[in-house]
Homo-oligomer: A and B are copies of this chain.
Amino acid sequence: MTTDAQVLEHAEFLDSVKFDARGLVTAVVQDAESLEVLMVAWMNREALERTAELGQAVFWSRSRREIWHKGATSGNFIDVEEILVDCDGDTLVLLARPHGPACHTGARTCFFRRLESDLEREQ
């Protein structure tokens, strides 16, 4: 997807990102081809800078409290094509191409469960 988003150069982009009290922003990973949302994780400033440098998703693991280069152990790296930031700077969208399943369960996407719709319930 080539979005019609306004292009910010590196320093300007980093300035637009507002890390929270823990130094984190939410990062939504979206498949650049299918546009499916694959996973949502967290980034601190270092993770964001390494993602931009590497062209692969690097997060902050809140449970392990460390930088997490997604795929470093599983091989399921996520190539990042585009990084978008939202209006108030506290959320990123990564348009990305995963090497394999994005979910640690082996599923293509972490979002593999949904709420039954009203129509389905009434049947």
Spell out A's residues near B (CB within 8 Å): 3, 5-10, 13, 16, 26, 28, 30, 34-37, 39-40, 52, 55, 81-88, 91, 93, 103-105, 107, 110-118, 120-121
Contacts and interface: CB of A to CB of B under 8 A. Distances in A.
B83 A5 contact: no
Report how many copies the assembly holds.
Answer: 2
B8 A113 contact: yes
B83 A112 contact: no
Nearest to A92: B111
A40 B37 CA distance: 12
A86 B8 CA distance: 31
Nearest to A51: B115
Nearest to A83: B115
